[in-house]
């Protein structure tokens, strides 16, 4: 038996999504910019998907701009807004737990004359809206705070942050990649001007996403060389990908509430089982968290060794973000939360999804228990500290 509990890294494409995409690789292969019937068919399919996504977000279809994924959408939001508003100011406010697709463009700008304030978070990984208020200046042009964190699952108070920023006339971006299609994501309720999402985190294909850009928001294009997407993002549209994204979101929304109730039930079962292990701690917010995210630390264990031991047993998990995998540095998110180094070193993220069953959760608990015990037996420091209780 192989068990996949890494749905925050990527999801399998739902077979119904694959079916919806199939004709757009073969019979309806047209370029959506062509005037002939092949082109018009492709154009109609792209527009249909755009309407589905706009309806989900509660916005106009023209406010949805397709990209190659959330990395591009995040980069574009930060760099595009900064460049379009240079004459007004060169200050950005970004949370310290953002995905690197937001953090690194912000750092890149900081090396080129922009000033960036990185907002702290509390021990649960949450931004304090009062810190946003204190960070805002006359020359601030953008605030970027993600909707939910991809590592520890903490949901941010985006609506409150946005209200404060917009009172000051500052644009607000949120990376909703982990929440779009899972939690309610309506741009007016959140009060944001820009929002990123990606298909492959919601049972759609890899390589397609969008940036929601509120009407009237000034933003410089990143990609030039064509009039696609109303001149905002050049490049032939990924028609099958866009069709798949539309279908994936349609399916996710139809089942959203029941699915989130099911997942949070399984998540709680998983967390309960794992917290019964000695020296185990839950990371992230106890209640304000993604329904499918369990993030724990096991003292006396190294994440990388644990992941390998779990993979040998057949369980696919993660130490945090896919981007920090392979490095022994604690993630920037755990560091920002102030986790003690030995706890950050033993982090394990398990994320559940559409095909996760109770039997899989129970097997995962058993395998983590076994793997943790095995690694601790091999650890002289753990054995020395616990020899009294395990003689």
Ligand X SMILES: *Cc1c(COP(=O)(O)O)cnc(C)c1O
Instruction: Give the residues lining the site for ligand X (CB under 6 A).
Output: 69-71, 74, 99, 101, 146, 150, 175, 177-178, 198, 201, 209
Whole-number minimum distance, CB 97 to ligand X, in Å? Answer: 10
Distance CA 55, CA 232 (A): 21
Whole-number minimum distance, CB 148 to ligand X, in Å? Answer: 8
Of 150 and 319, nearer to ligand X (C-beta) is 150
Task: Give the containing element (helix H, strand E) for 295.
Answer: strand 293-298
Residue 141 φ then ψ, to 5°: -115, -15
What is the widest separation between alpha-carbon atoms in the chain?
Answer: 79
Whole-number minimum distance, CB 70 to ligand X, in Å? Answer: 3
Is there a contact between 270 and 365 (Cβ–Cβ < 8 Å)? Answer: yes
Q: How many CB atoms lie within 10 A of CB 53?
A: 25
Q: How many CB atoms lie within 10 A of CB 165?
A: 27
Whole-number minimum distance, CB 198 to ligand X, in Å? Answer: 3
Is there a contact between 132 and 73 (Cβ–Cβ < 8 Å)? Answer: no
Of 30 and 284, nearer to ligand X (C-beta) is 284
Q: How many CB atoms lie within 10 A of CB 51?
A: 14
Whole-number minimum distance, CB 81 to ligand X, in Å? Answer: 17
Whole-number minimum distance, CB 207 to ligand X, in Å? Answer: 8
Centroid of chain to Cα 251 = 19
Is there a contact between 305 and 375 (Cβ–Cβ < 8 Å)? Answer: yes
Which residues does 382 contact at the CB level (< 8 Å), separation at least 6?
A: 299, 300, 376
* Start-end of H helices in 58-99: 70-84
List the catalytic residue out of 282, 323, 363, 385. Answer: 323
Of 284 and 300, nearer to ligand X (C-beta) is 284
Of 178 and 238, nearer to ligand X (C-beta) is 178
Q: Are strands 347-351 and 293-298 parallel, antiparallel or unpaired?
A: antiparallel
Whole-number minimum distance, CB 53 to ligand X, in Å? Answer: 15
Distance CA 52, CA 179 (A): 17
Of 68 and 260, nearer to ligand X (C-beta) is 68
196 closest CA partner among 67, 107, 81, 17? 67
For residue 64, what are the β-bridge partners? 212
Look at the block and give the residue holding tokens 């920023």: 165
Task: Give the containing element (helix H, strand E) for 385.
Answer: helix 380-386
Total count of residues recorded for the chain? 391
Is there a contact between 211 and 78 (Cβ–Cβ < 8 Å)? Answer: no
Whole-number minimum distance, CB 179 to ligand X, in Å? Answer: 9
Distance CA 260, CA 264 (A): 6
> What is residue 330's DSSP assignment?
P
Of 172 and 280, nearer to ligand X (C-beta) is 172
Of 52 and 196, nearer to ligand X (C-beta) is 196
Q: Which two tokens mark 96?
A: 């310290």
Centroid of chain to Cα 310 = 24
Residue with nearest beta carbon to ligand X: 69
* Residue 59 annotated among the catalytic residues of the structure: no
Of 191 and 209, nearer to ligand X (C-beta) is 209
Catalytic residue ranges? 323
């Amino acid at each position: 038996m192989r068990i996949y509990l890494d749905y925050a890294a990527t999801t399998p494409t739902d077979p119904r999504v694959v079916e919806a995409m199939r004709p757009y690789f073969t019979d309806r292969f047209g370029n959506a910019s062509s005037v002939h019937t092949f082109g018009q068919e492709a154009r109609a399919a792209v527009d249909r998907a755009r309407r589905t996504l706009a309806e989900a977000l509660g916005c106009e279809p023209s406010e949805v701009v397709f990209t190659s994924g959330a990395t591009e959408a995040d980069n574009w939001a930060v760099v595009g807004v900064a460049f379009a508003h240079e004459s007004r100011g060169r200050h950005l406010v970004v949370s310290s737990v953002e995905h690197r697709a937001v953090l690194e463009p912000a750092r890149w700008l900081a090396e080129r004359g922009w000033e960036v304030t990185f907002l702290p978070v509390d021990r649960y990984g949450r931004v304090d809206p009062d810190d946003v208020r204190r960070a805002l200046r006359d020359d601030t042009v953008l605030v970027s705070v993600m909707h939910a964190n991809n590592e520890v699952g903490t949901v941010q108070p985006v609506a409150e942050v946005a209200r404060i920023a917009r009172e000051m006339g500052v644009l607000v971006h949120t990376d909703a990649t982990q929440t779009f299609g899972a939690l309610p994501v309506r741009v007016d309720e959140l009060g944001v001007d820009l929002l990123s999402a990606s298909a492959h985190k919601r049972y759609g294909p890899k390589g397609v996403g969008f940036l929601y850009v509120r009407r009237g928001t000034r933003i410089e294009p990143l990609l030039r060389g064509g009039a696609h997407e109303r001149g905002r993002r050049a490049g032939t549209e990924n028609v099958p990908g866009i069709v798949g994204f539309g279908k994936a979101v349609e399916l996710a929304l139809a089942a959203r509430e029941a699915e989130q109730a099911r997942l949070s039930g399984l998540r709680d079962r998983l967390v309960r089982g794992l917290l019964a292990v000695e020296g185990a701690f839950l990371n992230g917010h106890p209640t304000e968290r993604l329904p499918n995210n369990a993030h724990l630390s096991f003292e006396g264990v190294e994440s990388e060794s644990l992941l390998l031991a779990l993979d040998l047993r057949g369980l696919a998990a993660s130490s945090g973000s896919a981007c920090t995998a392979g490095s022994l540095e604690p993630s920037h998110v755990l560091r920002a939360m102030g986790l003690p180094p030995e706890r950050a070193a033993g982090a394990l993220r398990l994320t559940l999804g559409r095909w996760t069953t109770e039997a899989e959760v129970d097997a995962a608990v058993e395998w983590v228990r076994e793997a943790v015990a095995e690694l601790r037996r091999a650890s002289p420091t753990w054995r020395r500290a616990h020899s009294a209780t395990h003689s």
